[in-house]
Each structure stands twice: as C-alpha cells, then as structure tokens.
A and B are shown apart, each in its own frame.
Chain A
C-alpha cells in the first residue's frame, strides 16, 4: 500500500519498511526547537534526572535549536532572568544552534530555522511552539509539542509513542489574482475545514498553485495549518525547496526530497481553485470565522500589524511597502511592522522598504513575535480593533480581552492602513 509523505518520513525515522495511519512509533528526532519556553523545558529536563544519580545530558546538542523571539528584548525582569537561565544552559550543554537577541542572526524561530538551513526535506522536527507546523514548507514532518514532551526528547532523542496521523490532501489549482495570495488561500481553507476540522491529522498540499508557490508562501500555509487543528502541514519537497535551501539557506550538502506514493491513502481530499479567490479576513474571535473582505470592509481599525512567523518575510514587506509608498497611514491608526528576522530587516533597509514604511508613518520594530500573543509591545486598548497579518485572533490574544483582532494578508493590512478601515486592496484604498 502506498504511503503519504509523513508516513514515509516516520517509517524512515523509526527504522521501518512501511507504516500506516494508526501505527504507534518512536521516531528519531532530527531537530528539536524551543524559544523562551526553553526555561520550562530545562526545568522539566532536570526533573527527569532527579534522584537518578545521572548527570543531565542532552542526547545530541547539535540537534537542539533555541531561538529567543517571544519577548525580545525582555519586557520584564522575570523574562530577562528566564533568558539568562537559558543562556547558561546553552553554554553548559554546548548548544550551537542558539539565536540570541541579535540584529545579524536573530529573529523569529519559524524564520530562523529555514533561513539557517536547519530544516531539510524528510526530517522529523519538533518544537515547543504550535506553529512548528511551518517547517512542513520544506517537506519535513514538523509538529508542536509541550515543554515536558520536549524535555523527554532532549533526554531520549526520540518522541515517545507517536501515533501515525491520517492525512488530508488539499489540491490547489489556478493562478492567484492580483493582491490575493497564500494567506488568503489558507484562511479560506481554515474557514472550510473549521478550527478543528484537521485535528490529529496532517494536511498535505498539492496542485500546480503550490508547485509555483515560493517557499515563503509555503511557510504561510503550513504555519496556519495548525489553525484547522492539524498536527502538521506539509508541502512535498521539489525544485523550489532545493532552490531555497541552496540559494537562501546556504545548504551545500545533498538534499533528497520525499514525495508521496501515487496510491497513498488520504482520509479527505479538498479541492481549491484560487483563480476567483478574493482577499479573506478571519474575524474575531476564532480563526475559522472567515469572510470575504467586502463583508467587513469599512470596519474602523486602530492598529495595523505586519509581521510574525506567518507574514513577516521579505516578500510580505515588499507587497505592503508597494501599497504604502507615497501614501500615509491614516490619522487615528497606528501601524507596526515586524520583519521576521535580522536578515530580512537588513534587506528591507537596503531595498528602501524601511524608508517607505517610516515615511508613510509606520513604526518599524525589531524582529520578534511582537504583539501577536499579547506579551510584549503593541497591546490594544479597551474596545480597539487590530487588523493583523499574524495567525491568531482568540479573545485576549493581543493582550486585552476587550478588544478584537482581524487577520488578513499583508496587502489588505497595508491598504487598510491608508484608509484606517478594513479595505479591499484591489480597490486601492484612498489615494489621498
């Protein structure tokens, strides 16, 4: 019987010929990523060794990555102390894939991992972050786990008792119309699947639209697969994956794509034609509350956010700057831009995008998660509305339960910044 991509990856990682959905395995982990919550992982890791007489030892420090992004620079003494504890641990255990708060190699974990060449097709990647699904963009099986689960991986080097998930196939056809892109596609899919429609399942993306999509776009759709409940999203690796790894991530070793068998079994097949897709908006307070832009156009917005592990990449900034160039952010609206990594930030400076944003009145912040999860800068006031390119709009997500968050693409966010209200970028916004 044929296997899906994830079944093939899990078979390889657990040393088996073939596996099928429902099998229970213990796959070796190729990469184990954490961010600030490494502070909790460390605590649980040390607990494992308590009263054993054993010296705590990470199974393979070269396979552990720690990236500070959730609260950078630290917003409180508590965070700063946690970060310090993590730095001490990293030094003691010689963890080289450590990305501190830096302008050169720092940034959001789900951008740092791909751009540093840490993720390869066919790899098993676990991360103490639900958006670890992002790395399926490179043809890896990547999924989020909790801190205690990560402590177990650090000790053992494999994930204990993993059940092989069922796979949903999403076939995407057609050419994106102007100002419509991967974010609109994934929001549309989430709206159709619902917030729990892919729970305990993998979403495997296919079709000519995906083949033509850049790795940056694939990161968007895999990133948000978890918003339909998916364990992982995955794009089978192809020429674009190899191009990205060679040209953008500096990988020189051989890369072997893993592709599904023609007779692989899928639990559900979803077909999407993007040629008539319109900009999509996820409305408060669930990500599956998705509407076409015209149904919410005109809604007043106090804060625009461009950035995050979903849409803070160079092409996202380029689209937004293109719309803003020569225009102004509306009075009564503030706009925050968070490039996803130091490398992207530098490129945005070199290409003049940062100047475009600043001249328009936007504030360009340092790379990091920013206001996405309501722990750092950019909190909302009572009754305020944010329009954001991030991935979640749960009640209280941006730090205030008495506010609302709408999710959209960078094009919608930029067009709306100009008018101060949710605006269809195809209609251009106000050209004042």
Chain B
C-alpha cells in the first residue's frame, strides 16, 4: 500500500517538473533539489524528507510532455516517487525506463491527495475511493532495459557482448 502525496492534471510539462532555469544542474545526484521548484510547498516537503520513498504522484494524460531534459526524471527518481498517470509523453517515458523511475500507466485513474493505493501488476486500486483501473504495460521493447536495471548497465552489457563477439571472430 502506498499514498498519493501530490496530484496534477493533464499535459504536465517537464518545465513544470524541472524548470528550465535549473538546467545548468545536470548530475542526477544534484537535480532532486529543484523538483517542482515552482510548486514551493511540495518542493519544500520533498527536501525536508517528509515524503517517504514509494509515495505516489498522481497525474492525468500526457505527463512529462515537452523538453527531453532528463533532469525531469532524475529529480523524481531522487525521491523514489512512483508516477501513476493516465498517460505519459514518449521521451519522458523512455527516460524514466532508462533511469529506473517507476511509471504506472492507468487510463481512467483518478485520485486525491492522501488517497491510499494498492498497485498490483495489472491493476491500480484506489482504496480510498474504491475505484479500480487497469494498467497498460510499458512497451515490451523496453523490457530488457528494465530487467537490466536501466540503460547504463544494459548498454555496458551490450558493449561487452559486442567486444566478445568481435574477439571471437578469426
């Protein structure tokens, strides 16, 4: 069981998640400071460690639209948030899979701050409202990246495989 700690609507852009003016900060370890910087109260709660890892950020359709900035993912990953949304924008979804930020796509999902959720493999149950919605699985093509623990370990593995293969060639 987990709790919804913040709710947002449709089309939440990466400018809202991680405002452009903090983009000079690039390293994943340093970006969490500016998560939702323009939502001062939520940003303060995050920084004060009042939000336990595994808490849920609930959103509507097209979450993470706009810029390809990876800071928008690493900033949320820093707090180990789970994003449950009706849908995600392509680059954001890809970046999240690459960095191991947990996304749950659940069309029809609705929640209020404080709601308790049970996130299963196939369904999200809102224990507070009683509503259950189905989960759309993340793209199969990307399963291997998730299983490897992210794109860095996956690329490392592919690189070493490549070298082994070419070493075996006569």
Chain A contact residues, CB within 8 Å of chain B: 24, 36-37, 39-40, 43-44, 47-50, 52, 54, 70-71, 75-76, 78-79, 82, 128-130, 144-149, 151-152, 155-156, 160-163, 195-196, 199-200, 229, 231, 286, 288, 373-375, 392, 394-397, 399, 401
Contact = CB atoms under 8 A, between A and B. Distances in A.
A64 to B, nearest CB: 16
Given A37-B69, A375-B20, A200 B90 contact: yes
Contacts of A149: 94-95, 98, 151
Given A146-B91, A196-B62, A196-B89, 7 more contacts: A40-B71, A49-B156, A146-B94, A149-B94, A152-B152, A199-B62, A397-B20
Contact of A373 (B16, B20, B142, B150): B20
Given A155-B155, A199-B87, A146 B62 contact: no
B78 interface: no
Contact of A375 (B24, B66, B145): B24
B119 interface: no
B158 A392 contact: no
Contacts of B156: 48-50, 52
Contacts of B141: 24, 161-163
8 contacts: A37-B26, A54-B163, A79-B24, A130-B68, A151-B151, A160-B151, A229-B90, A397-B20
B38 interface: yes
Given A161-B141, A375-B24, A394-B13, A147 B151 contact: no
Contacts of A288: 11
Contact of A401 (B23, B25, B26, B38): B38
A115 B26 CA distance: 29
Interface of B: 11, 13, 15-16, 19-21, 23-27, 38, 61-62, 65-71, 73, 87, 89-91, 94-95, 98-99, 139-142, 144-145, 150-152, 154-156, 158-160, 162-163
Q: For chain B, what secondary structure do more than half of its interface residues adopt (helix, strand, loop), or is it mixed?
A: helix
A128 B159 contact: no
Contacts of A395: 13, 15-16, 38
B146 to A, nearest CB: 11
B65 A48 contact: no
B158 A156 contact: yes
Contacts of A49: 156, 159
Contacts of A36: 23-24
A147 B99 CA distance: 10
Lowest 6 CB-CB distances: which A-B pairs, in order? A146-B95, A196-B62, A394-B13, A40-B26, A373-B20, A152-B155
A288 B158 CA distance: 40
Contacts of B68: 128-130, 144-146
A161 B73 CA distance: 20
A155 B70 contact: no
Contacts of B163: 54
Contacts of A70: 23
B94 A39 contact: no
A199 B98 CA distance: 19
A334 to B, nearest CB: 20
Nearest to A158: B158
A399 B20 contact: yes
A395 B61 CA distance: 17
Contacts of A161: 141-142, 144-145
A148 B95 contact: yes
A89 B67 CA distance: 24
Given A52-B159, A82-B24, A160-B155, A148 B98 contact: yes
Nearest to A77: B24
A54 B159 contact: yes
B152 A148 contact: yes
B16 A396 contact: yes
Given A82-B24, A130-B68, A148-B98, A396 B62 contact: no
